[in-house]
Chains A and B, each alone.
Chain A
Amino acid sequence: MTTTTLSPSTPVDTPARPARSVAPIPMTRLVGVELRKMFDTRAGFWMMASVGIVTVLATAAVILWAPDEAITQNTFSSAIGMPLSVVLPIIAILSVTGEYSQRTGLTTYTLVPWRGRVMTAKVIGTLLVGVAAMFLALAVGALGNVLGSAITGLDAVWDISLAQFGNIVLANTLGMLMGFMLGVLFRSSAGAVVGYFVYSLVLPIAFGTLAAFQSWFADLQPWVDVQFAITRLFDNTMTAEYWQQLGVTTLVWLWIPLALGLRAVLRAEVK
């Protein structure tokens, strides 16, 4: 096909407007924007609200139904921690996949064409939400413990050490990063949420069943099953070997896929 210009365009010498001084976008602002985006839709708002609601409901359930001797801080924290560990990773997933499923990435990545910075802001934003949620859970759990003990008439039992709380924070942080990893890997809300349930429900059951019937796998499971390794953080008996197993399993199930997912986010065409 012969393609030829009919006539060259004539550049016009209209002076451009005087250049303004433009300052780079600071990371704090990007984190602020990402936090705002987590709350400003109806779905996002209720997702966040569910963190508070779950915390209060779980606390109430312990006060109502737990036997008197089980009214301890540890009971409250486990009761709150379980549902929270489901909700937090989904918050992490949606912060990434929203850009793709709702196609807002077209605007986000043109306003901030450095996708690595956008991802960093998202990670910081999600982790801030996660840490805030865990302190909220700690506070509500403590309140529940005081209330529960007052009702039973026993002395309040404070049986969570700082180290233990630290481990719980770490476990939930790993859970959120897991959600984040699935988000960057799938870049679709539906796919990543399904992936998350496979990760958190299907795989642990499959590994558990295999370990129950095959003795050779029972010894191997702690080195393979990432949920198994993470769940042990909730107990206060972490040994050096447990930490190694946590390192090995998260390397395979979290850090490597996360690196691949981030690479894909940086390179993939945004449509």
Chain B
Amino acid sequence: MLRVVAFVAGVVLIFGASIGRKAVAQSDFTLAGEWILSFSPINGQLTSKFGNTLGFADRDITFNQDSSLFTAIVDREDLGPSVKPLGDWRVSGDNFSATFELWCPDPASVCGTVTLRGSFVNNTKINGTATVFFEQDDPTTPTGLDTWTMQFTGRQVAGG
């Protein structure tokens, strides 16, 4: 009888511990912190069908979490000290999504929204794709908007 109890307790301990580790591992991933994202073309596509592009410069993005609010801010000091486009984000397992409104100072220019989708390589490395929905009609796309994609890799800034 004692052997049976010990066996059951052992099984519970072993499996309980492994389940616990898995749950912790999944929730370990977070974007919170400062990241540098490097963008590159997909299949050589430098612009959208209508010639819209964001270029391929690195972006310094800080992701914050305050209770249920997951916010992000892009540092565009290259454009001006106060230029900091905003976004928000979420993580599900080892995948994440983030979405941003572009900074568009010229009302005559085509503006848009950027969505990032990707996954964690580890706690400090990510990769994925960026989709830009430009506010220019394109009847050939399912959304009706000019759409452009890039790929990216990201690394968390040490201490960021």
Partners in one complex: no
